[in-house]
Amino acid sequence: MTITSPAELVRARLDADLELFPAGTRRTADGDISISGCSLRALADEYGTPALIIDEAALRARAAEFLRAFRTRHAATDIHFASKAFPSAAVLGVLAEEGLNFDVASGNEFSVARAAGVDPSRMLLHGNAKTDEEIRLVTSSGIGHIVIDNLDDVERIARIATTQVPVLLRVTPGIDAQTHEATATGHNGSKFGVSMEDAPAAIERIQSEPSMRLDGLHAHIGSQIFELKQFQQEVAALSELPRFPLYDLGGGLASRYTSEDPSVSIDDYAQVLVSAVHEHLGHDVRLMVEPGRSMVASTGVSLYRVVTVKRGHRTHVAVDGGMGDNLEASLYGQRFQPWLLGTDPRVETYDLVGHHCESGDVLVRDAVMPTASIGDLAVVPVTGAYTFTMSNNYNAAFRPPVVFCTDGTSRLAVRRETMSDLLAREVLL
């Protein structure tokens, strides 16, 4: 394709960037973008900005794709969505309708899933520091499994449980995953799980407790992993321990955030994982997998409005959101690839920054986008994972709404916070 004008350059860039958006995304003739038939400009007018927009059809399709990819290769597989990636009752309810189970990492996540109508038997509880209250809550409700992270968990369950509790033992396989240190969980220095050396004694200790039924082993090596052979290493490590009928291999499949990121399919992930299970653990084991980021990241986009444009040594385009609704950029340097819905046909390079009083509040450095003006809309794709989870009230900002879109219709899934919400916990003298 020969580009002959700035406007054609803009259209060519956007067509490339749309590969990162949910599958139901389209570019319209007037320069707008539609998500599952819903105009982003219309959504901004109706729900305000910042806002987190979810393509509901893409979310459902993602769940179906995970189930198909694994169960066609290993029928005895359960997909547990890692609730921490998007702990919203609306999202969990949709995924439950599609046949997923859930892992929860706290008593509160357990309660959110219950509010979504999820039966406790379809959940497993994680956590490296479970409290008495959490153990009491989930055991009295009939939790599917508790993942034992340490011997203190064993003591608590033995002391609190009134009926036998199904458990898994989390093992740290000693794998330094090729990912950011903040999202690596399988190395020997991790705070999660017991080491390979300590696992045999922990297994013996659990099996000596009549209040627990040890069904199998759990491992999770980290998040945002592109190199699939590391999952093979995880399975091979587990095979060195006593055999069990159930293995939970965690999650970790990477999501594609920019055009430079490689594309790793769910099919490729399932093929590698199941082949390793069949080779090292056998064909007759039950398998659990816990996708989080890879389930929801690509189904969501964040929508902002430009507030200021400052040109000088660097050009800063500031929007009405930032690290209050997306901590991934500042917390572990996640790179995003945004787009601007403007009217200027030119393209320039600038920093897309937030409005919070913090120098680290930068959404994207050196973003190449259409020239920005006050009032334009900026949209950041691949924000369906962990942005809702880590949204906060920096500078007393309101956490944004979550809007579901499907077949040209939008609906509010989580409303925007208000000042009454922020003040509700204050004890005013």
* Residues designated catalytic: 357
In order of 140, 272, 351, the CA distances from 22 in angstroms are 40, 25, 24
H or E element: which one contains 129? none
Taken in order 38, 40, 45, 49, is the CA torsion positive or negative? positive
Contact 287, 75 (CB under 8 A): no
pLDDT given at position 1: 37
Q: Any idea what DSSP says for residue 99?
A: T
Mean pLDDT by 10 residues, the chain (429 residues): 49 71 89 95 98 98 98 98 98 98 97 98 96 97 97 96 96 66 52 89 96 96 87 93 97 93 94 97 97 97 98 95 95 92 86 96 94 96 97 97 97 98 89
pLDDT given at position 24: 87
pLDDT given at position 33: 95
CATH architecture of 57-296: Alpha-Beta Barrel (3.20)
* CA 114/CA 91 separation, integer angstroms: 13
Cis peptide bond prior to 50, omega within 30° of 0: yes
Reduced to 3 states, what is the DSSP secondary structure of residue 405?
Answer: strand
* CA 97/CA 92 separation, integer angstroms: 9
**Token code pair at residue 11:** 């259209």
Q: Give the CA count within 13 Å in the CB-facing half-sphere of 170.
A: 24
Contact 98, 62 (CB under 8 A): no
- Cβ atoms within 10 Å, residue 71: 17
- Cβ atoms within 10 Å, residue 360: 12
pLDDT in tens, 150-207: 999 999 999 999 999 999 999 998 766 444 444 444 446 667 789 989 999 999 999 9
In 247-264, which positions are buried (b, 16+ CB within 10 angstroms) versus exposed (e)?
bbbbbbbbbbbeeebeeb
Find the angle CA(341)-CA(342)-CA(344) to the nearest 5 degrees.
145
pTM of the model: 0.93
pLDDT in tens, 89-131: 999 999 999 999 999 999 999 999 999 999 999 999 999 999 9
Query: E strands within 264-346?
Result: 286-289, 300-310, 316-319, 339-341
Report the greatest alpha carbon distance in the chain. 75
The answer to whether 6-55+298-423 and 57-296 have equal CATH topology is no
The number of residues in the chain equals: 429
Please name which of 286, 287, 224 lies closest in space to residue 261, comparing C-alpha atoms.
224
Domain spans, the chain: 6-55+298-423, 57-296
Contact 20, 300 (CB under 8 A): no
**Token code pair at residue 16:** 């490339």
**Token code pair at residue 114:** 């219950």
* CA 103/CA 101 separation, integer angstroms: 7
Per CATH, which fold does 6-55+298-423 belong to?
Answer: Lyase, Ornithine Decarboxylase; Chain A, domain 1 (2.40.37)
Please name which of 112, 108, 92 lies closest in space to residue 100, comparing C-alpha atoms.
92
pLDDT given at position 16: 59
In order of 317, 363, 406, the CA distances from 320 in angstroms are 10, 11, 26
Contact 143, 125 (CB under 8 A): yes
Contact 142, 123 (CB under 8 A): no
> Which amino acid, 349?
T
pLDDT given at position 80: 98
